[in-house]
Amino acid sequence: MAASDHLVIFDTTLRDGEQSPGATMNKNEKLRIAKVLEKLRVDVIEAGFAIASQGDFEAVKAIAESIKDSTVCSLARALDKDIDRAAEAVRPAASGRIHTFIATSPIHMQHKLQMQPDEVVEQAVRAVKRARSHVDDVEFSCEDAGRSELDFLCRIIEAAIDAGATTINIPDTVGYAIPEQFGETIRQLLNRIPNADKAIFSVHCHNDLGLAVANSLAAVSSGARQVECTINGLGERAGNASLEEIVMAVRTRQDLFHIDTRIDTQHIVPASRLVSTITGFPVQPNKAIVGANAFAHESGIHQDGVLKHRETYEIMRAQDVGWHTNSLVLGKHSGRNAFRTRLLELGIQFETETELNEAFTRFKALADLKHEIFDEDLQAIASDTKQKEEIGRYGLVCMQVCSETGVVPKAKLTLTVDGDEHTVEAEGSGPVDATFKAIESLVDSGCNLQLYSVNNITSGTDAQGEVTVRLERGGRIVNGVGSDTDIIIASAKAYIEALNLIAAGGIRQHPQVADV
């Protein structure tokens, strides 16, 4: 296998992660996450699918222009137009990669591609050669490799490597694999393909059976030297292998893996929080590594053991993944320069002084309400400010909500619609219901509310609440996120942001819809 002195971490949060229903990110949000991934020392950032839309193309290009310490990659089907568009997007990168793919399982070749195996091999070779004419770093993926025939995988991979592919990815696209079987597949490929030593073998596992991380680790044990994963395991359907779990499993069990990643693990928790805030996908409390309960011990026996010797019940240090390192950082007496400096340390940078001033004003207002300001609060302030700067059809001016025992809750809101102010009122079963009904009495969006979720950003009764609202209309799903120390105001912000996303429209082509 091609020499690799470490396990390459290929992060696809900005591409596959974005395919989670409602997780679409704009260019500025993708840039914020990309900068945190660079700080995390991710080897490869898959920034998007350049041909999917103009927005995707611009996001990939912007990331390629900004990121210097990670390879920036764009996905492309095995089509000339996809590859050329990807090449254009990653051209500004200090290190650029084109990731091209074609389906290799019998079911996909027959029903999706409607191509014979010989035609698939021919197209794969042509795609890899075209990609190599643009960049030196080309990755080739066998889509649905988990259900592909081993002999055909050997054949097409050998041809792809001969054509110039430097990384070969074996995706378990539908989450079908079982660890022992998947590990054996990787072992067989490495042993049977004559030129396997000329490429790094990679895996990309989905979590449909809850085995994405287990399958990825089995592949690493069998010789894979790149793992494709996402922050928080974000991804379509049940998600992808979690970056944080892969990295910490390999680092914690060096006795088994004998190879490590280059990840700076102290940035794992901040990266997790940022992705959660931007996408509106909360992290479950019992999520490994980054969940709120990951290092919490309620059992008296466990508490006693940890106090006597941490390693009795903890196999990792919380500080090593970013917990407890972001305690109080700023307060109500902190100045503008300290505020700006801490934001830069968190990878947050505003494009204009107006945005910075708006964020600082929000910070001061929050500091008057909260004694302690944490990094998570600053992330929320930044997200809220950037959302406000985005051009949206709807906006919240002010609101008044009445909730009293024995009285039907009422909400009165003043909203802007295309710049004009309107005041509306409504009653509801609760203050949030009344708020949403008041908004709908004006906009009549025709949306279905699929999810309403509330999470505290930090601890304490004075914590900011973060609300996620998921709306669906005509098959399109969006997530709106709002934060405030008043949960009703946060709810209104989230609902309005979701409405703005629906109104903005925009069509992205799914990367697995092939028109070969």
Q: Give binding residues for Mn(2+) as ranges.
A: 16, 204, 206, 240
C-alpha distance from residue 214 to each of 203, 210, 234, 419, 455 (Å): 12, 8, 16, 52, 29
For residues 57 and 75, what is the distance between their CA atoms, to the nearest angstrom?
11
Nearest residue to 61 via CA among 48, 43, 76, 77: 48
Q: Torsion angle of alpha carbons 472, 473, 478, 481, nearest 10°?
A: -70
CA-closest candidate to residue 288, choices 261, 268, 309 = 268
Lateral strand order in the sheet of 407-417: 394-404, 407-417, 420-427
Contact between 409 and 428 (Cβ < 8 Å): yes
Which residue is associated with the tokens 């998570």? 376
Fill in the DSSP letter of residue 424. Answer: E
116-124: long-range contacts, CB 8 A cutoff, minimum separation 24 = 117/152, 120/156, 121/155, 121/156, 121/159, 123/78, 123/516, 124/78, 124/156, 124/159, 124/160, 124/163
Buried b (16+ CB within 10 A) or exposed e, 213-249: bbbbbbbbbbebbbbbbbbbbbbbeebbbbbbbbbbb
The answer to whether 319 and 325 have CB atoms below 8 angstroms apart is yes
Query: Element (H or E) spanning 431, and its range?
Result: helix 431-443
Residue type, 504: A
Cα 321 from Cα 231, distance rounded (Å): 13
* 3-class SS letters over 288-339: CCCCCCCCCCCCHHHHHHHHHCHHHCCCCCHHHHCCCCCCCCECCCCCHHHH
Q: Where are the beta strands (DSSP E) in 12-144?
A: 44-48, 71-77, 96-103, 138-143
Beta pairing class for 394-404 and 407-417? antiparallel
Q: CA 334, CA 356: separation in Å to the nearest integer?
A: 15
